[in-house]
Structure 1
């Protein structure tokens, strides 16, 4: 439909979401007022990376983390997060600045008991300086790129770390800054590395007095920091940061100091992490001021500060990072929220990409319908009629598996005087939205209808359990969807029952958002009063650290009563049933799990650009030579998917290739002008997959990609010619590796006797291994090895962070190479997650041996070896558009 200026556009609300309030004052966006180049540094992280491979490369690439702070090599503050261990994946993912918290060499918090070290051995050298020198020496001699490091010699010196009393300790701190600064520079000079970048002062909050004294002293001694650092942690900092930054810039001017970039190396509270509507408030504020900023580290290293899920997954926070990262290369535009500098209110940021004729607004944080007042849309760029699309990103728990955010508004609109007014229905303060405005596209995406019911657990009929208010003002708590959840689900009579309406007879995916307290568990799912199946939950960090668990149902068209219960028979409590319930989402997957990723949402590199000339390919990306279009696609489960590249050519054709998480698949060439679908069946891991389209010959217009997993693709998972699957306990073992029987609450795979068994004590010596004999028909080539594993390893408690440890397995092919796989901590030794390891095997019969000569690996429940590609890729000429088959 076309809508005139001044008439509100409205989207279809998600089924089951309560009615929204009337729009408040509008969020005003003026694309004619640009405010500078997009910086993109507001999604930095503190200890967001844990080890090489934690998080996965696809998760890291999709989040586009430009800056992170990590511990120094061999730092004792935490068992992982070592800068040298994570730099390879960080730099490969577009990382620019790797900060090192040098004081994290100390094991305790506050450092050294909170007291400044002295000169214990009486050698005349301050005891911290040899420690600092070793930190810099390790980076200078072992890093692949020391120029990308920034050293932070002092962290929160004002808050119990050596110099809390400025009136009596100012001179000591300033003298120590000089000593630390000179030590850092001397190491780089010794190795011919030039200037070493240093960040400071690193205060826990903004201090005008300390900052003035520090900057004045540093200028006088030619020891100014390369990056000025402080922290903005509490909710109220959403109100005060802009004032602090204004005071900082005024201070530089007053002291005659040239601009020094800022990094807020810790921001936000527990309630902000993984919550799109909270994150967008922080991110928009920092981008508006053109500073870098890093999410705080409240739990464990390796999951982007609670903004990614499990081994390879996206949660709501990750999609916020991804959307923000996608704005690279654009110009930011002026945004006026209804209430600037007011926490927990509607905020937003906007960019305009003139080259690709695309305007984007990210917004959220309010509880009412969002009225957007947009102006400054140049008709010469966009045309008189524009395409308008809005996607919604909801809170889905820290360990929740969030798939592609659905389209909730899709329409065209007339632009008059450069203006457009629209309203996006909203009642969820925890949600964020992405608005894209482009010229009219050939393949507009429709409003999603996959989610047929969303019911907050507290709105179900509850028996034998308690509804708890999860007050959003509690900074130290994770947020619950809808502000409430259901707990004390620990009696045989505990149940939650709600009604759903299936639009057609078919298959449905029920996704339960809940929290299992450091142990897996299970519930009985009843449909219309009859037992249907067990719902097996993975362990979570705690009842509030929620994740998703999915099961598939077959429903007839019409209304049904669904019920999750703590007992299957009404009298016997199921093991591990005391699980917090937050929300129930029901998705229609009768036609399969489908997702479409248009070119307008791709990351374009090289000479790739969106094209708007051809009526048959408006909004397609032109790909030739070294150009590429990269899409970050999310999958609900591990297995075979049909991945389709939709393209058009105007000449003699083109030869395309599809990169899948770094491995390239050649696609059959297109022939002559026309529109084409090139499809390949690929075994994909659950979670985030990086899909890159290139043209090895000719020029193509790429409309986008789609993914499909339906009955045919699932059947391929069971084809013995394509997939080998085995319980770990049936495979050959050596040395100390032993079969273990797990408790009844395990979420692992049961054997023929109905008992969950796994293999433990793999590794910690070269002889302790588990071997996968090479199946017949699995000759040299590309494969995916899926290992269902559990790892609950932690070191002794030092401070408030869970001191989690990643474990590793080396997969060695007899006669071939060895591949290392990282397994992040997953809370319980009998809670199993799939880890997909890409393998390129070079022999036709060499067995695969799992081991680790130097440390223990995880417990292993099952192994699956699958051909990376099943069947031959195809290219066919089509008349339909992207996602219209």
Structure 2
């Protein structure tokens, strides 16, 4: 999240600007209208992220960008066009499956009726068996060939109650039930394991759904997933509709039945709600609480994640809402409200692996937010940071415009809390904005600096683990460690407000020299060299200058060496003096075939192998990884319908080497005079290079220019202070000295004990030496451990003075008692704290990390 200056939001009782720790009153606070209470002791099950779904949110592979998809973290359902269908020029469920799955996506629903060209769906040509069944068979056979066949869900009918000429009259309902049976059996015959969903009404109708379920039970055609839509004015009836269906299940399928429910279109028409994060919280909280999945609707051209995306790689405010939602992990917490249908809604989850509680809320201008049971999770107090994100303007004309891009999240407040309950009076909120509270262990006396992305709040995976501590020289409440693990990764999602260079500053700690890999949009960018900071509590900063495409970028830190800690990532715009621009219409370039200059652009590239544009004299100071950004425009659409936009592709080849060719997608810009940008990574040789653009199978977009820039290079890295002048880390030395002091001379040969005492004396001298180097400290630790390990036990009166060789009798249990005693003392002291908190096993496990 890119943190901005605080907007005008008041958290009256929070002591929000850290004027001091907030002492939480224990008496209960009377519930007010719109009150929300989160019980940290009461869990309701694993969070599912069921509300993250899209109808025609994906158009073609790459539209939207992989970065926008991956940044949502948890992708539950996509709904797309029937394979080979004629309803839309793109959005094919099979064609978009690879992008969906490589970004972690779940179910892929197929709107099978979108095989037909008309909306609403035209009447069958002949009977359903003659017209529709062969199409069903063709679709199922195509899905069976997909490597993701098990992810597909068949939806044989879509809004038959309103938008299908075959069923949209009351006297045609029986025909729909019969045709449901036919479609169901046709699919199951070709794929017995297929999942089938229905009836997919535009509006939930209790009587019709009861008749459908009764019929399906009697005919053994019960759907695997139950579907309907919650569109205009649906928010107040969502819980009621779901509960009504569950009651029908209990009656006809038994109380143990729990068929998955998918509300595969939600939010009202017109698009207003889909750019209002505060309104979308209303849906997310209901669907997640009710345990159902859902998908945003398709009111405009495909490929923009139903207005979470804009310009293909930029985010609306709603994208940030779903990104927050996707990063909530672990167990859902019980949320109590004054009225479950009140305007202020909330969702909360606790993640044991990070010890973080995250609360998503919004929908009104004020509320009371109470956190109960804090001491069970955060016995030593906690820190809370609250972020906000605002609504963005929708497109004024969905066929010609796209929504406004978001400025990104901003920090509302942060504060320390203690006690068992915390009550926050929230006022000055924006009802169309969403808010996100992150509760962690640890406390801080300072407000987090603006412009930083805190590592402990980023998306961590593998062995990367957030740690929390007070008083250390860190920017927030903690840091992330564990980067030597094979799968350790910390992912930051940051906003680039231009195509160009940014300085990425990684604040780190490492006692010795280390390395860590910085990835940009999941490709290696640069391996950062990290000079040792002189101790595990000393910090430094490594800076890389990185070229980032406009919009959302994913920056990963991974593949590090042992002992690295990461505090934060700072992203600052840098100058673009090193970026070179090459105009498409330049006379130095080569045009072949039909490609031609028209004013300041080159058009008619592609639609045949010979119609190409070659950029010449592309200079590279050294061989390596470069980013090429294309400025382009096109507005192709089908069937004289501007709603049915088409995306274009180009094949890009470097230095006439076919092995370098990349197939690049260019999202529709909605107007021939509206130029967008898209970027790719290439390898250039030192000196002069060429870049050829063509497309043998279709037209490429019109091109204005390209820019070329070295993708990334480290520019600096240094500790905050000279490691040679920083205090050495003596914690381990002190520990070994204490262990050695507890060893008695009795029972050991005088020679071996004298050696131990000598190494102990020297170790104590190093401990007392203020300017001891880390090397001196480490050497003293090693020598003292050798002294302990070299102790020889007296056997049968032998005191070590005779010539008898008994060197193999060197260890006994007493020599290890110091270690054991230390461990026992540690266990007892921790156990006292944990028993007092009532959560022994959970917190002990976390203390042991």
Q: Give the TM-score, by structure 2 length.
A: 0.75
The residue aligned with 2:504 is 643
C-alpha contact (below 8 Å) 2:466/2:481 kept by paired residues = yes
Q: Counting strand residues as a fraction of each chain, which structure ranks higher?
A: 1
The residue aligned with 1:334 is 334
How far apart in 2 are the matches of 1:725 and 1:850? 13
C-alpha contact (below 8 Å) 1:280/1:365 kept by paired residues = yes
Matched residue SS, 1:108: coil
Matched residue SS, 1:111: coil
Q: 1:445 to 1:183 in 2, by over 3 A?
A: farther
Matched residue SS, 1:83: coil
Counterpart among 634, 644, 664 of residue 495 in structure 2 = 634
Counterpart among 224, 229, 243 of residue 231 in structure 1 = 229
Counterpart among 453, 458, 468 of residue 612 in structure 1 = 468
How far apart in 1 are the matches of 2:514 and 2:445? 21
How far apart in 1 are the matches of 2:47 and 2:259? 18
C-alpha contact (below 8 Å) 1:774/1:845 kept by paired residues = yes
The answer to whether residue 248 in structure 2 is matched with residue 245 in structure 1 is: no
Q: CA deviation at 1:302?
A: 0.5
Q: 1:809 to 1:11 in 2, by over 3 A?
A: farther
C-alpha contact (below 8 Å) 1:358/1:436 kept by paired residues = yes
Counterpart among 690, 714, 720 of residue 872 in structure 1 = 714
How far apart in 1 are the matches of 2:478 and 2:294? 33
The residue aligned with 1:723 is 580
C-alpha contact (below 8 Å) 1:9/1:423 kept by paired residues = no
C-alpha contact (below 8 Å) 2:619/2:686 kept by paired residues = no
Structure ID, larger Rg? 2
Q: CA deviation at 1:614?
A: 7.5
The residue aligned with 1:131 is 135
The residue aligned with 2:126 is 118
Q: CA deviation at 1:846?
A: 4.7
Deviations 1:84-106 (A, max 9, x none): 22111111111011111011011
Counterpart among 141, 146, 154 of residue 157 in structure 2 = 154
How far apart in 2 are the matches of 1:31 and 1:390? 17
Unaligned runs of 5+ in 1: 13-22, 190-194, 449-594, 742-756, 881-885
Q: 1:7 to 1:274 in 2, by over 3 A?
A: closer
Q: CA deviation at 1:268?
A: 0.2
The residue aligned with 1:82 is 92
C-alpha contact (below 8 Å) 2:459/2:491 kept by paired residues = yes
Q: CA deviation at 1:213?
A: 2.3
Higher mean C-alpha displacement, 276-285 vs 175-184: 175-184
The residue aligned with 2:265 is 266
How far apart in 2 are the matches of 1:174 and 1:879? 76
Deviations 1:539-597 (A, max 9, x none): xxxxxxxxxxxxxxxxxxxxxxxxxxxxxxxxxxxxxxxxxxxxxxxxxxxxxxxx321
Counterpart among 61, 64, 70 of residue 55 in structure 1 = 64
C-alpha contact (below 8 Å) 1:228/1:262 kept by paired residues = yes
Q: CA deviation at 1:9?
A: 3.7
C-alpha contact (below 8 Å) 1:43/1:321 kept by paired residues = yes
Q: 1:860 to 1:175 in 2, by over 3 A?
A: same
The residue aligned with 1:465 is none
| Counterparts of residues 103-114 of structure 1 (less than 5 Å) | 103-112=113-122
Q: 1:24 to 1:696 in 2, by over 3 A?
A: same
Counterpart among 406, 413, 416 of residue 409 in structure 1 = 413
C-alpha contact (below 8 Å) 1:661/1:689 kept by paired residues = yes
Q: 1:797 to 1:184 in 2, by over 3 A?
A: farther
Deviations 1:383-439 (A, max 9, x none): 4432121111011224322233111212223x22x2112234425221111111112
| Counterparts of residues 119-518 of structure 1 (less than 5 Å) | 119=127, 125-141=129-145, 143-162=146-165, 164=167, 168-188=171-191, 195-235=193-233, 237-257=234-254, 258-269=257-268, 270-327=271-328, 329-342=329-342, 345-366=343-364, 368-377=365-374, 379-398=375-394, 399-413=403-417, 415-416=418-419, 418-441=420-443, 446=448, 448=450
C-alpha contact (below 8 Å) 1:28/1:373 kept by paired residues = yes
How far apart in 2 are the matches of 1:769 and 1:426? 57
The residue aligned with 2:844 is none
Q: Counting helix residues as a fraction of each chain, which structure ranks higher?
A: 2
The residue aligned with 2:650 is 809
The residue aligned with 2:672 is 829
Q: 1:740 to 1:662 in 2, by over 3 A?
A: same
Q: CA deviation at 1:252?
A: 1.0
Q: 1:641 to 1:215 in 2, by over 3 A?
A: same
Counterpart among 702, 705, 724 of residue 862 in structure 1 = 705
C-alpha contact (below 8 Å) 2:383/2:444 kept by paired residues = no
Q: 1:778 to 1:767 in 2, by over 3 A?
A: farther
C-alpha contact (below 8 Å) 1:407/1:446 kept by paired residues = no
Deviations 1:147-183 (A, max 9, x none): 1111111111111314546763343222222221222
C-alpha contact (below 8 Å) 1:781/1:840 kept by paired residues = yes
The residue aligned with 1:622 is 481
How far apart in 2 are the matches of 1:840 and 1:218? 59
Q: CA deviation at 1:130?
A: 0.7
Higher mean C-alpha displacement, 597-606 vs 293-302: 597-606
Higher mean C-alpha displacement, 49-58 vs 169-178: 169-178
Counterpart among 31, 38, 45 of residue 47 in structure 2 = 38
Q: Give the TM-score, by structure 1 length.
A: 0.72
CA RMSD of aligned residues (A): 2.5
Deviations 1:485-506 (A, max 9, x none): xxxxxxxxxxxxxxxxxxxxxx
Matched residue SS, 2:698: coil
Matched residue SS, 1:80: coil
How far apart in 2 are the matches of 1:129 and 1:433? 48
Q: 1:108 to 1:818 in 2, by over 3 A?
A: same
Q: CA deviation at 1:822?
A: 1.4
C-alpha contact (below 8 Å) 1:762/1:858 kept by paired residues = yes
How far apart in 2 are the matches of 1:46 and 1:25? 32
Q: 1:848 to 1:221 in 2, by over 3 A?
A: same
C-alpha contact (below 8 Å) 1:729/1:759 kept by paired residues = no
Unaligned runs of 5+ in 2: 1-10, 19-31, 395-402, 723-849
Corresponding pairs, count: 674
How far apart in 1 are the matches of 2:290 and 2:685? 52
Deviations 1:222-256 (A, max 9, x none): 33222111100012x11111011111111111112
Q: 1:98 to 1:165 in 2, by over 3 A?
A: closer
| Counterparts of residues 637-716 of structure 1 (less than 5 Å) | 637-649=498-510, 652=512, 654-664=514-524, 665-671=526-532, 673=535, 674-709=538-573, 713-714=574-575
How far apart in 2 are the matches of 1:705 and 1:874? 15
How far apart in 2 are the matches of 1:685 and 1:443? 36
Q: 1:777 to 1:282 in 2, by over 3 A?
A: same
